[in-house]
Amino acid sequence: MIRLLTTTALCLCLFSCQQESQVDRATREGILLLGNTNDPKSFDPQVTSGVLESNINRALFEGLVVFHPSDDLAAPSGVAFEVTPDETSTVWTAKLRPDAKWSDGRQVTAEDFAFSYQRLLTPELGAKYAEMLYFIEGAEAFNKGEAKDFSSVGINVVDPQTFTITLRGPTPFFKEILKHYTWNPVPKHKVLEYGSIAQRGNDWSKPENLVGNGPFRIKSFRRNDHIEVERNPHYWDAKNVTLNGIRFLPISNTFTESRMFRDGQLHVSDSVAPEIVDYMKKHNPSVLRQERYLGTDFYRFNTTRKPLDNILVRRALSMAIDRKALCDNVFRGSTPAYGITPPMGDYDPPHGAAFDPEQAKKLIAEAGFPGGKGFPRLKLLIASKETAATMATAIQAMWREHLGVEVEIENKEWTAYLLAIQTLDYDIAGAGWIGDFIDPLTFLEIWSPGNGNNNTGWDNPEFVAELEKSFKVTDPAERYEFLRAAEAILLKEAPIAPIGWRGRNYLVHPSVQGWYPLLLAGNPYNSIRLVPQEPERK
Amino acid sequence: MLKLLASRFLQGLLTLFVLVTLTFFLVRMMPGSPYTEEKAIPAHILERIKAYTGMDKPLPVQYGRYIKNLVVHQDLGDLIRKDGVKVSEVIGDSFPVSMALGLASMGIALLVGIPAGVVAAVKKNSPTDFACLAFAMVGICLPSFVIGPLLAVFAGLKLQSLNVGGWSSPTDWILPAITLGLINAAYLARLARGGMLDVLSQDYIRTAKAKGVPGQKIIIRHALRGGLIPAVAFIGPAFAGMISGSFVIETIFQIPGMGQHFVNAATDREFFLIQGLVLFYGFLIVGANLLADLAQIALNPRLR
């Protein structure tokens, strides 16, 4: 019996022995194998809002400007060869490339862009990310149904290759915003062929019908298995695209993903579990990438509940968090945060949050709880994810040690956790935020009262006033001053306690060339090359 | 006979109806909704999205609509979070994968479990018996999320022979099928051993021995039939579980099967997908029971 089993197993092994790993074969064929966590919610760039969808959209569609392969703040031209502001950075003129084509060979026109923005803003479409276009004059009113006529929105088609975008105020950083996929065009002729402008579930975005203007087009799609894209022969810069295709693999489990990478089934992984980072550092450091990412981990305080309505209590709690210890031991790759906005370009956030146990003790005493005496037992809400639990346990211990404050960790399943946060049904909660574009605004405007992502009950008119001021100036340095002032108010009042600026741990196979660290991880596929390495055993 | 069959069929339909109704209301009692997302959806947008999926209507209206679509159009509805994807497409894409994997695992479970159990019973208290028992104990105690990655690391990374994940090469079913199969083989081995030991101590076996029937013949012709009854009783439900997929196995080996949808649909509050999956699974069970009833009627004249 045992002999039979062994023989069968051996035969199977021999039978299945492959000479070449999937990565080696894909490298030879010019196909990039990418871990991409999950299937997209849709291929329609105007109804999705996630990172994994943006990774696919970047292959299938192209905006007016695109990501630079290595420079976060550069904005190379995309389907527009020129996007120029007027002297106040309020009216921007886009001139499209005459050779820009859809993947079915039709010309990409200014009319396509006007149609796309109208579609995204039409309330009936119910686009979750419509507010990305609120920078356009009149867009918010149109999207909220207050204005019915799209001509009230600041989009003006000048000729088939030119259109202007009038913004609600000076926006010197507009090119950064344009990189976001909500600003990509959709093909008017295809959308209308399969339905009306604002019809959801319009069949134009089914993989077999989809037409885009990006460097690639869909080749095959199998749910929960893969999405493969191939070169789009009609792409204006097709001659400079070196990859023949990309295969997106929806691997949701990061341990499975790491195993598949080590087995030669992936060129680039989406992430590596913190537990695996040390192993990779020791055994295969050359493939491990640890880079900064445009995200912040922080704790929310529910300012509508006692005693968290007291600034002193919130500041004391924030000051008693040893951020460095957490980043070194729990996150692997994050940096201790002193502001909510990670440093980017010329913006350095004010130093408003730091570990200072002595000061924290004083503040909590001043708030009426000397040594934590009389402090109610609050609940610390987290979502059931491994790192969140480790971090919560560590912070629970820090608060006990430095303040004498006891909190109880409450672990909820993801959707229940989100619901509790959004209905302010919590005391203190773990949270994270990822920026949409490289500008401090994406981290600051969420703290305005009434913003759907504020979720702390915090409302401060001075903060709003500083933000408003920043909307009116054109000089970038002056603008940053206002934003920094706003952030200083936020950190002083401490409705949140910033903990770490996110790092991104992931794996890149040595055959992948031209994959540089980018804050938004929006690596353009056009500039990636696959160079065969010494063949691996397998 | 026909009357009995009709009554069983109607009972089955009633069961499915109750199942659909209970699921419909229970999933809507969970905290949160399919629209609860990390970045809150603005209220005016949420209103439109709800209107599009019909979720803005009162619950009884939604229920009526769902039942009508189900009965009249055999439509299980669309996914809420994924645009333009039908529940039937998700089940139709993933069930064949789970079915193939389930069949392979069942084959392994039977081929390993039953002989191991029988051999252990025949060679009671010998080293072979202890080896089989130890194997069964390990198989039962070690969960698939331990065996799976261990197998993947050993066969995929150390031996460099099989892919550790994916469902593209013709050999990709081997590791997951072994993982899923071994666990069930362990149960089968214990059940087969127990059943065989019972039978082997019966008088008629002693009689056969006394009459000089050769050992192998006693086991194959006389003992197996009765000895395997507990194991066979286990196979039914185990098989239904295997072909409807396993969340753990599919996650470990990156397989596009149906098991992961049971879990993900619940965490994502994909109401229609949960309902569809529950109904489909219920249909499998009810169908299998109906077949079992038929088989019993065919075998046992007293039931007719």
> For residue range B235-245, what is the model confidence (pLDDT) as tens digits?
777 777 788 77
- The answer to whether B267 contacts chain A (CB < 8 Å) is yes
Among B44, B156, B174, select the one facing A123 at the smallest CB separation.
B44
CA distance B5 to chain A (A): 39
How do beta strands A428-434 and A512-513 pair? Answer: unpaired
Range list for CATH 3.90.76.10 in chain A: 60-201
For the residues B11-20, what does the mean pLDDT come to?
92
Could you tell me which chain B residue has the CA closest to the CA of A53?
Answer: B82
- The answer to whether B158 contacts chain A (CB < 8 Å) is no
Which residues fall within 8 angstroms of residue B206, CB to CB, at 6 or more apart? none
| pLDDT tens, position by position, B287-298 | 877 877 777 777
Identify the residue among A7, A31, A210, A225 best suited for mutation to test binding to B, counting B beta carbons within 10 A and taking the highest: A225
Contact B84 A537 (CB under 8 A): no
Identify the residue among A128, A131, A255, A455 best suited for mutation to test binding to B, counting B beta carbons within 10 A and taking the highest: A128
Among B37, B93, B161, select the one facing A16 at the smallest CB separation.
B161
Contact B165 A452 (CB under 8 A): no
Q: Greater confidence, B140 or B240?
A: B140
The pLDDT profile of chain A, 538 residues, written as one tens digit per residue, is 445 555 555 555 555 455 688 999 999 999 999 999 999 989 999 988 888 999 999 999 999 999 999 998 899 999 999 999 999 999 999 999 999 999 999 999 999 999 999 999 998 888 888 889 999 999 999 999 999 999 999 999 999 999 999 999 999 999 999 999 999 999 999 999 999 998 887 899 999 999 999 999 999 999 889 999 999 999 999 999 999 999 999 999 999 999 999 999 999 999 998 888 989 999 999 999 999 999 999 999 999 998 999 999 999 999 999 999 999 888 888 999 999 999 998 899 999 889 999 999 999 999 999 988 999 999 999 997 778 899 999 999 999 999 999 999 999 988 899 999 999 999 999 999 999 899 999 999 999 988 888 999 999 999 999 999 999 888 889 999 999 999 999 999 999 999 999 999 999 999 999 999 999 999 999 999 999 987 544 4
Task: State the Cα–Cα distance between residues A143 and A153, nearest whole angstrom.
Answer: 10
Which residues fall within 8 angstroms of residue A302, CB to CB, at 6 or more apart? A308, A424, A426, A427, A428, A429, A456, A457
Contact B49 A200 (CB under 8 A): yes
Contact A453 B40 (CB under 8 A): yes
Structural contact between residues A444 and A397, judged by C-beta atoms closer than 8 angstroms: no
Residues within 8 A of B (CB atoms), A 509-538 only: 537-538
Contact B152 A251 (CB under 8 A): no
| pLDDT tens, position by position, B162-207 | 888 889 888 888 999 999 998 889 988 999 999 888 888 888 888 8
Contact B162 A224 (CB under 8 A): no
Structural contact between residues A522 and A437, judged by C-beta atoms closer than 8 angstroms: no
CATH class of this structure's domain A60-201: alpha beta
pTM for this structure?
0.90
Identify the residue among B28, B30, B35, B38 best suited for mutation to test binding to A, counting A beta carbons within 10 A and taking the highest: B38
- The answer to whether A253 contacts chain B (CB < 8 Å) is yes
Using an 8 Å CB-CB cutoff, list chain A residues near B38: 418
Task: State the Cα–Cα distance between residues A512 and A268, nearest whole angstrom.
Answer: 8
Among A18, A259, A455, select the one facing B165 at the smallest CB separation.
A259
Using an 8 Å CB-CB cutoff, list chain A residues near B260: 224, 252
CA distance B153 to chain A (A): 8
Q: Is the dihedral of CA B224, B226, B231, B236 positive or negative?
A: positive
Residue B120 tokens read as 């252990």
Contact A128 B84 (CB under 8 A): no
Structural contact between residues A374 and A368, judged by C-beta atoms closer than 8 angstroms: yes
Q: Is the dihedral of CA B221, B227, B233, B238 positive or negative?
A: negative
Residue B101 tokens read as 């994997």
Range list for CATH 3.10.105.10 in chain A: 293-503
Could you tell me which chain A residue has the CA closest to the CA of B79?
Answer: A41
pLDDT band at B304 (very low <50, low <70, confident <90, very high): low
Residues within 8 A of B (CB atoms), A 445-484 only: 452-453, 455
Q: What ipTM does the predicted assembly reach?
A: 0.87
pLDDT at B285 over 70: yes
Contact B157 A259 (CB under 8 A): yes
Q: What percent of chain B has pLDDT over 70?
A: 97
Record: fold of A293-503: Dipeptide-binding Protein; domain 3 (3.10.105)
Q: Which helix (H) or strand (E) holds B61?
A: helix B59-73
